[in-house]
Amino acid sequence: MMIFQPGDILARSEQGGTTVWVNHRLLLDFCHMSENHLRKVRSEYKSSLPPSQQKFDILPDSGSSWRWSKQNGFFYYAVNRIPNRAPKFYRDQLPSDSDLLKAMRELDIKSKSDLSDRIKKDIQARVADFFSNDDITYFCYSSEPTFNQDKAKQLAEAKAWCDMISVYTEGGRFKRFGLKRKEDFYNVCTEIIQGKELEGLRINTVKSLRKKISLYPAVGDDRQRNYFISGKYGNDNRRKVGKFKLVDTVTGEELPFDIHEAIMFNLYMNPGNPQKEDLLPLWEEYKEDLAEFSTDEPMAYRTFTQYCSRFDTQLRTAKARHGEDYYNKQFLTYVPSEHLKYAHSLFAADGSATVAYKYYDKDGTCRRMNLYVILISDVASRYIAGWAPAKEGLHNETPRMTEQAVKMAIESGGYQTMFEVVTDNHGAFTSEESKDLLSSIFNKVRTIRAHNSQANPAETQFRLFKKTLKRFNNFLRTSWIAGIDNQANPDFIPNNEVLPTYEEAVLQMARIIADFNNKKMRDGSTPAQRFEMKHPDCKPMDDRQLRSVFAYRTAVEITRMRGFVEVWKADQLYKFEIPEYFTGMAEKIAKATGYKPDAKLSVVWDYEAADLYTLEGKYLCTCKVAQKAVQSHAESNEHTDYAIGHHQKRQRIQLEQADDFEQKASQTADLLNAGLLDSYNIAVTDKNYSKESYNAEMESGMNQNSPVSVNVKNEFENENNSSRNRKDFDGYDPEAAAIDNL
């Protein structure tokens, strides 16, 4: 098959008609001629011409064979002068003149098409030089409105086209593409742009492209970019609902609704009333109300449902229509938080029903009851640190259960600091008893806001825990009023008689919790292992905190216990020593109890110490176990000897305090005579005096300006010295003195 290339065939009009010329290559390839033979025939033909005609590029027709010419740097041969003699028949090896002319026309069309494609490629390459990613960023994030990535690229390309055309139409620069006229340049650009269907530059004719370029801003990036954003975006020309707002004719205030919205939203929300209706009857009622107040055409049912069901409408109306609880769970925004890193940072408390057990009522009927438990969970590790079941046959959660669960959590945590706990608003956590308990153990106690259970991490913890219960046949439900997909299948609910007893259910729950705490999670660790990684600020809990939870409680009257606190437990007496009883603690207790003759206090005690509180719960002091001596030297030891010295020292201090009180009272009475009652010796406390001013004045009067005061002071010191001397000569116990020195 003969394949032609551009330039293989030429046609030239001459006096005798059209002469068809074929390229030197065709004779070599298709007629199988050699270069030497063609060179020879060219020379022979040229020699046959007069010298004056041999200089032409296109040699004239002499009638001889092998007429040739040199065009575009190649040799061509006239087809009508190629010989067709035996044995070669060169002419028959080539197509006819008509076939050659047809092939030439096809090649010419293809050549022009290739030229057009080249021009188009060159133009698009120049457009790429004007394309900027900054334009894409603007249309994606800064324009009004913003566009997706695909539309933004189209708008940026449209701007690049307008920039390129504006530049290349000035000064005839378009001729660089091989185009002679500006109209040709516009035609090529129109042909390319039309097929792209660019956002902001949808044109079909050269006229529309010229108009677009003529209105394109010459300067200003933002002006040029916004030029391509159609005004159809964001306009409300077709809008009817919400377009013309109502106005209060008394105050002139423009209300946020038009007549359609005012009626529609009021019907949809039904503010202050519990009833809700479907949208169809609401639409019917809307049309009736609109006809009463306005002559406007009512919106279609489709439009009515669209407005009521829109996302932004639900944000505003769901609370009034469905209630606060639903709104908080479905629409109300929340505070996002990072996952906790350390155990003991936050505990969560919640209660719910778990596995079922059987019990017998007073009539002997076998009944089924779910075991209600309260869980204290560590949020960071998901470790269930404490739990407590309800009593048999009961389904209420009580403060007593909370106390038991908290005690277990304290023990599980190694009696370390428990920083915070969050609970729901159930009475088991919000009663005064529970508040006091939680406040005494946790540094911070908070309850979730009402109707916002999703804010309680314990809800999530309980959901995760209940997933482990579904494999037990005595777990019959997951939550109160659950949907059908979360309810137990009644076909497989066991008979009451085969259910475990209460004691067995409690043991089962203990095993389930232990398995849950030691089950590996996605990272390969268990909640128990995570629970060991406690907060760096954790430290052992204060003993008083622990006693407030674990210790015994009673009330005693201490005025006649002579410096001790005595409590009875199981017919055994426990004695605790009140610290600094004679040097301030007795006065502190008297003040705390209202200076009554009898001082009745609340005692929280264990076998190591007792904490004294007022009956109202105000802490006073901690009393250690009293050290006891023995009455026989035969049974004495180091500890009993120390106890003797310690208590003798307390006796001596108490006696000295009593003597000192007596002497100071006598001294004060001696100063109360008419001659010494002046501002320098003794003064009555003035309520207008500040404490510092009064003390300074008294010190000045007693130490500087009153010789009588100095004499009295000296006399008092002499008496004290003589008193101490007398004690030494009277033979004070040397063992007690030695212990005192220790």
In a domain, 639, yes or no: no
Count CB atoms within 10 A of the CB of residue 326.
14
* Domain end (from 226, 244, 278): 226
Query: Is there a single domain that holds both residue 358 and residue 482?
Result: yes
Query: Is there a single domain that holds both residue 282 and residue 430?
Result: no
Instruction: Enter the tokens of residue 452.
Output: 């916002």
Whether a cis peptide bond, with omega within 30° of 0, leads into 145 is yes
Which amino acid type is present at position 358?
K
Q: How far apart are the first and last CA of the chain?
A: 128
In a domain, 60, yes or no: yes
Query: Is there a single domain that holds both residue 700 and residue 665?
Result: yes
Query: Is there a single domain that holds both residue 443 and residue 416?
Result: yes
In a domain, 544, yes or no: no
Q: Look up residue 453 and give its DSSP letter.
A: G
CATH number of the domain residue 409 falls in = 3.30.420.10
Nearest in space to 369 (alpha carbons), one of 458, 266, 496: 496
Query: Is there a single domain that holds both residue 382 and residue 479?
Result: yes
The helix (H) or strand (E) run that includes residue 418 is strand 418-423
Residue 35's pLDDT is 87
Query: Is there a single domain that holds both residue 402 and residue 461?
Result: yes
Question: DSSP states of 493-546 as a string?
Answer: PPPGGGS--HHHHHHHHHHHHHHHHTS--TTS--HHHHHTSB-TT--BPPHHHH
Count CB atoms within 10 A of the CB of residue 439.
13
Residue 474's pLDDT is 81
Total tally of structural domains belonging to the chain: 6
In a domain, 107, yes or no: no
Contact (Cβ atoms closer than 8 angstroms) between residue 208 and residue 222: no
Rounded distance between C-alpha atoms, residue 38 and residue 48, angstroms: 15
Rounded distance between C-alpha atoms, residue 314 and residue 308, angstroms: 7
- Return averaged pLDDT per consecutive 10 residues of the chain, 742 residues in all: 70 81 82 87 88 86 87 85 83 81 74 73 91 94 92 94 92 83 91 90 92 91 91 78 87 90 92 90 93 90 93 92 87 84 93 90 89 93 94 90 95 94 89 91 86 68 82 69 63 82 94 94 93 94 91 92 92 93 90 89 94 93 92 88 91 91 87 55 55 62 46 43 40 41 36
In a domain, 243, yes or no: no
Strands in 544-587 per DSSP E: 552-557, 564-569, 572-577
The helix (H) or strand (E) run that includes residue 35 is helix 35-47
Rounded distance between C-alpha atoms, residue 28 and residue 309, angstroms: 82
Kind of pairing between the strands at 564-569 and 572-577: antiparallel
* Domain end (from 597, 626, 655): 626
Instruction: Tell me the whole-structure pTM to 2 decimals.
Output: 0.60
Contact (Cβ atoms closer than 8 angstroms) between residue 531 and residue 487: no
Query: Is there a single domain that holds both residue 488 and residue 434?
Result: yes
* Domain end (from 330, 362, 381): 330
Query: Is there a single domain that holds both residue 592 and residue 677?
Result: no
Query: Is there a single domain that holds both residue 386 and residue 456?
Result: yes
Nearest in space to 314 (alpha carbons), one of 333, 301, 302, 327: 327
State which residues form the domain around 713: 647-736
Query: Is there a single domain that holds both residue 314 and residue 380?
Result: no
Rounded distance between C-alpha atoms, residue 422 and residue 62, angstroms: 115
Query: Is there a single domain that holds both residue 659 and residue 585?
Result: no
Residue 425's pLDDT is 85
To which residue do tokens 């509180």 refer? 613
In a domain, 742, yes or no: no
In a domain, 426, yes or no: yes
Contact (Cβ atoms closer than 8 angstroms) between residue 201 and residue 227: no
Three-state DSSP string of 362-399:
CCCCEEEEEEEEEEEEECCCCCEEEEEECCCCCCCCCH
Contact (Cβ atoms closer than 8 angstroms) between residue 11 and residue 101: yes
In a domain, 542, yes or no: no
Contact (Cβ atoms closer than 8 angstroms) between residue 578 and residue 654: no
Backbone torsions φ then ψ of 245, nearest 5 degrees: -75, 155
What radius of gyration do the chain's Cα atoms show? 54
Count CB atoms within 10 A of the CB of residue 623.
23
Contact (Cβ atoms closer than 8 angstroms) between residue 741 and residue 696: no
Backbone angle region of 194, left / alpha / beta, with phi > 0 → left and psi within -120 to 50 → alpha = alpha
Query: Is there a single domain that holds both residue 404 and residue 508?
Result: yes
Rounded distance between C-alpha atoms, residue 79 and residue 63, angstroms: 12
CATH number of the domain residue 621 falls in = 2.30.30
Whole-number Cα distances in Å, 650 to 121, 242, 434, 511, 659: 110, 89, 41, 55, 14
